[in-house]
Amino acid sequence: MADAPVIVWFRQDLRLADNPALAAALATGAPIVPAFILEYGDSAWALGGASRWWLHRSLDALDAALRQRGSRLVLRTGRADDALPALLHETGAGTVFWNRCYEPAAIARDTRIKAMLHEASIEAKSFNAALLHEPWTVKTQQSEPYKVFTPFWRTLRVLTKEKPLGQPPKTLPDPASWPRSDILADWSLEPAKPDWAGGLRAVWQPGEAGAQARLRAFIDTALVDYRECRDRPDRIGTSRLSPHLHFGEIGPRQIWQAIVGRTEFATNGGNEASKPIDAAAEAFLRELGWREFTHHLLYHWPELPARAWKANFDEFPWHDDAKSLAAWQRGLTGYPIVDAGMRELWQTGWMHNRVRMIVASFLIKDLLIDWRTGEKWFWDTLVDADLAQNAASWQWVAGSGADAAPYFRIFNPVLQGRKFDPDGAYVRQFVPELAHLSTAHIHAPWEAPEPVLAGAGLRLGTTYPRPIVDHKRARERALEAYQSIKAGA
């Protein structure tokens, strides 16, 4: 019928601007029913605690934005295979539009649902809102998927020309009647007893408005120094857009256009930058390229989160060390830069990227604990937990992934701390036990003379732990373990 509504099925695209599925629905002229389905299941990658908190806030923000346009967000729970047909029946809709997700389980689900809807003579179309380019469109000259980032980036850079879509109209067309909706609070996505999300609330503003504000702040205050400051956890030198990108509160095309629009980068064809701001833009856009590369890898190698990309790593002699794992998770390893990172993660749901590499190297190479253990911890505690980036990045550090760090690259946590947190400001912020320790000793408290420790109110082994492992010996042990599987590379 002429006034049959179109269902816009929101997923990881929780925004109104640059939303291809919403734009396509508006182009039909039909009433629109925006919907979100919370799927429960026993998947190993069900939403972690931090992601659930973010999702609640993001859905609330999306509903508020829709209501400002005279619309609303309809919430349902259950398998999408069941919830979507029920919603179609209740509304009389004959069309469903959505934006694609690229996780293996999501691809299988969407393929199944699209076939089911077509069988029922329901129009179902999907669009790209999450990536600069679909994973199957960026190929080598041999039409194969890329396995190395740099040539992938060169190709991606040349291909990236599409502009983002604009804002939808101030009023969205309503259906004649609204179907019932769940109440968001009833989903219990936010923690209650105990409420551990206070630190998250203090740091983050989930939602499309928060994403745009974060982008503007980055461009205005940090972009020009990005190349020099991005590795400094003691400074605000990165964009912190990753959770907004994961939940689709902002799209990569929007970010790309905003960065290029503030630089000369658009006119030099992506060649060697001639101005500081251009060099900073190049460095930052490469990070968007890495995000694309990880989704490219996950699409072509769907077992990436669970299996080593390089098969010889299946034989790696991992250690099962529950005590050391617990110390790492709690930020009690005795290595200040590692502990600061793990506590930042617990308090804010986020960790600086340089420190992510340091703590991952420590878990994998100093403790010889399986990278999948760290991957799962990050999945539960990160507000930007993203299956593609999480898996690819952990495998990169482990040396088992595509274009991975060489196995002999083992970060020294003391040297990393001294290099990237030279004044100890980051450590002092997140490891307050060490706040009064001198800068000369803050990254290696065990080297401080007893009078210095006493003056800082510090008792090693009591107020702050001694190192749970000797890094020099741990490095030698790790190299032996890597050598044991090298022959099978």
Mark out the alpha helices in 335-470 (DSSP H runs). Answer: 336-348, 353-361, 371-381, 387-398, 413-420, 425-430, 450-455
Q: How far is CA 380 from the centre of its chain?
A: 12
Q: Which of 268, 271, 12 is nearest to 128 (CA)?
A: 12
Question: CA-CA-CA-CA torsion for 385, 50, 109, 294, nearest 10 degrees?
Answer: 0
CB atoms inside a 10 Å sphere around CB 344: 23
Q: Which of 269, 258, 263, 265 is nearest to 159 (CA)?
A: 269
Q: Are strands 6-10 and 32-38 parallel, antiparallel or unpaired?
A: parallel
Active centre residues (catalytic)? 287, 290, 318, 353, 371, 394
Distance CA 453, CA 460 (A): 8
* Dihedral sign from CA coordinates of 26, 31, 34, 35: negative
For the chain, the distance separating the N- and C-terminal CA atoms, rounded to the nearest angstrom, is 61
Name the phi and psi angles at 77, rounded to 5: -120, 160
Q: Which of 335, 327, 324, 323 is nearest to 434 (CA)?
A: 335
Q: Angle at CA 218, nearest 5°, toward 215 and 223?
A: 125
Phi-psi region of 461 (alpha: psi -120 to 50; beta: other; left: phi over 0): left
Distance CA 309, CA 396 (A): 10
- Beta pairing partners, 377: none
- 300 Cβ contact list (under 8 Å, min separation 6): 135, 145
Distance CA 396, CA 417 (A): 21
- 281 Cβ contact list (under 8 Å, min separation 6): 223, 259, 260, 262, 263, 265, 273
The crossing angle, in degrees rounded to 10, of helices 104-119 and 80-91 is 40
- 251 Cβ contact list (under 8 Å, min separation 6): 13, 15, 18, 19, 129, 130, 164, 245
Say if CB 372 and CB 306 are below 8 A apart. yes
